[in-house]
Structure formats: structure tokens, C-alpha cells
Amino acid sequence: MLHHINIRNFRNLEHFETDFNQGITALIGKNGSGKSSLIEAIYFLSVGRSFRATHDRDTINKKIIGTGDFTSIKANVSINQNLNEIQMILDLNNSNRLKKNCSYNGATLPLSKLIGNLKSVCFSVNDMNIIYGSPSIRRKYINILNLQLDNQYVSELLVYSKIVESRNSLLKQIKNNFSSKVELEYWNNKMVESGTYLIISRYKTINQLSALAKTIYPKLFNNYHNGDIRYLCNLDPLNEFIMQNDKDQIYNNFHSKLKQSELRDISLGKTTIGPHRDDLIINIDNNTAENFASRGQARLLVLGMKLAECELIKKLNYIEPIILLDDAFSELDLDNQEYLYKFIFDYNQCLITGLDFRVLENLNFSYNSLNLDQRELNING
Ligand SMILES: Nc1ncnc2c1ncn2[C@@H]1O[C@H](COP(=O)(O)OP(=O)(O)OP(=O)(O)O)[C@@H](O)[C@H]1O
Ligand SMILES: [Mg+2]
């Protein structure tokens, strides 16, 4: 649970500090007052990136750029009853690359170890990109979910990305006759080792997510439609090998496919096989959601995934994530708004923007409100 936050120079929040209570907190304030930015800052601390910025550096307050000043997000959170302080300092350092310096109770920690400590699930209008965007957006989705479930995942992902980068530069060298093809074997082996870990972890997560989403979709779609989420493994699209959960089989399959693709990879100068090309299949009534779902249905499909995420994080970590809803209620019909309120009401903590108070008051739910124009926490209801 999040108890307190102190933000400096994040978007328009130059000096912002507040306590948080348990339960639902409605963020209110004029357009542009910083409601979404507050949600974004909390999410940043949780997973190490923004949910809406094209580049993370866009979140740095414009006024401090070039001044030597930095951005900081610091929070007191309780994790398993212990109160901890986590902090992220974002420093542009007069370059274009944003440095993220992290600490946990005052001790420096690599970013890969800090993220995932504060568990969160965020749902915003941008999440429609999970349906309509490129596979890389869906991979990001899987990665962010997985890093909150598997604390080895980020390190493996970093290792794997570096291996792909090295293999790609070797492929270019071979193409230009600066290196020989036999050198590929070293990187093939490394890639298969690390990639197999990612595949197994992703398959496990998506399978569990999908099972939970299947219990949520009938409620969101009033039993009229089916939603289905599946992991599309680049190496094993029909999940023939992964399903058996046999590590050696996945490893061997990956290795032989990588070997088969060597000539093509050399001519293209990039690695065309592996989990860096994975995707998710999101279907409604057995049709691809991207082409078949209505806007509202697409929103419900993603909402179902997010609610399943909450359940999965709770189930596997025994910790409830903080639910962050940025304008999540727009485009939802009244029944679904009510379902969403009831769902979040069972959770320990939830921050919401764009709330329709009439629906909440009709349900007689108590909530806190935090006014970003006045920056004070009122307890209502
Ligand atoms: N890097 C930045 N530096 C300073 N201000 C920024 C930066 N990026 C965005 N802003 C401004 O911060 C303000 C807060 O934006 P935010 O999206 O948080 O508002 P909001 O309260 O969610 O508004 P809405 O009700 O319209 O959704 C806006 O005026 C926006 O233009
Ligand atoms: Mg907003």
C-alpha cells in the first residue's frame, strides 16, 4: 500500500507531497491540474516507465531542463507489513538519455531490482494500443506484467536483449565478410539459453492470466461474447512444445530454428527468430479483436486483462496491487461502471481519475478525494 508520496519536477508537479489512505481515492481537479501525472509518477516508481509518454524523458518538468536540477519520485510504501521508502531520481544530465537512479530505504539499488517492489496495475485510454498497436506494445505489456510476478525476469530480459544486439552486429559483420559464420554458434547457444527462460515464464503468465480473464469476460460482456487471450510464441505459434512444459524440448526447438534461419538472418543483418518477436492473440468470439471488436468491446477486452492482472498479482504474490485508473470509466456502460466499482472496492487501494461521483454515491461506497487544485486529502462517505 502507498502511504505517502513526494514528487519533484515530474511533469507539472514541481513540488508535490501528499498522504494516501486505504480504499478508493478519487483524484479531482481542473483539466491539466496533474491528475494523470500523479498516476503516471506512481506507475513510474512501480515499473520504471511511463504508461503514456513516447519517451520517458517527456515526463521531466520542462522548466528544469538544462538547469542541472533533477526529477524525483519518493514514496513510503508498506510491503508485507513493513514500511519502506523507495525513490527514483530521473536525471537528464544535459543529454537525451534519461538516467534512472534508484534507492530502497536509502541504499542504492539497480533499476532492475527496484521495479516490481511496488505492485500496480494501471488502466488508461492508452491501453487501447494493446489491441490496435504493434506487437512490441503487447510484448511490453507481457514484460511489465511478468516483472511484477517473477523477480528474475527483468535481469533475464536485459541479458537476452544484449545477446540479440551482439548477434545482430555479428550478422552484419559476417555479411560484410569481416567475421565467419562459425562464430554464430556462441551467440546461438547464449540466446537459446536465456530465451528459453523468457518463453517459459511468458507462457506460464499468459496462461494464468487468460484463465482468470475467462471468469471476468462473461460479466463484462453479459454472457453474450467470449474474450480469449493467448500467448503467440514466435518459435512455437501453436504452443506444441511449450504446452508440455519441457525445457529441453523448447531449448532444442529454439536452437534448430535459429540454426535454420542463419542464412536469412545474415542477409537481413538481424535475428528473425526468438522471443523478441513474440506477440499476444486477443480474440473476441474467435475473431481478432483488432479487426472485429467495437471500440467499447476492445476497451472491455483490455479492461478484462487488467482486472485479471490484479487477480493474478494478488494470487501469486499474496500482495494486492495498487489499482491506478486514469479515465478508465469513459466509454463504459452503466452496468460495467458498476462492475468495475465493485471489483476495485474489494482491493486495498485504488486511485481514480475521471470518476462519475453519481454512480459511486448510488452504490453507497465510501471514498477519499484528493483535489489537485488544492492538494489536500478529504475523507468522504
Ligand atoms: N514535461 C512537462 N513539464 C511541465 N508540464 C508538463 C509536462 N508534460 C505535460 N505537462 C503539463 O502538465 C499538466 C498536467 O497534465 P495532466 O495530464 O496530468 O493533467 P490532468 O489533470 O490529468 O488533466 P485532464 O483532466 O485533462 O486529464 C498539463 O498542463 C500538461 O500540459
Ligand atoms: Mg488526465
Least confident window among 234-238, 244-248, 374-378: 374-378
| Protein residues within 5 Å, CB atom, of ion ligand 2 | 36
Distance set, CA 127 to CA 31, 300, 303, 331, 345 (Å): 20, 11, 9, 13, 22
Distance between CA 1 and CA 80 in Å, rounded? 9
Residue 245 clears pLDDT 90, i.e. is over it: no
Distance set, CA 116 to CA 154, 319, 341 (Å): 9, 12, 25
pLDDT score of 237:
85
Ligand closest to the CA atom of residue 28: 1
Domain boundaries, the chain: 1-119+319-381, 126-318
What average pLDDT does range 212-233 have in this prediction? 95
What digits encode the pLDDT tens for the residues 117-137? Answer: 999 999 999 999 999 999 999
The helix/strand/coil state of 362 is helix
Instruction: Report how far ligand 1's centroid is from the alpha carbon of 12 (Å).
Output: 6
In DSSP terms, 95 is beta-bridged to none
pLDDT bracket for residue 381 (50, 70, 90): very low
* 1-119+319-381 CATH: 3.40.50.300
What average pLDDT does range 203-220 have in this prediction? 96
Residue 331 clears pLDDT 90, i.e. is over it: no
Residue 139 clears pLDDT 50, i.e. is over it: yes
User: Who wins on pLDDT, 287 or 95?
Assistant: 287
**Nearest ligand 1 atom to alpha carbon 372:** 21
What average pLDDT does range 69-88 have in this prediction? 94
Class of domain 126-318: mainly alpha
269 lines ligand 1 (CB under 6 A): no
Alpha-helical (H) ranges within 76-116 are: 111-114
pLDDT bracket for residue 31 (50, 70, 90): very high
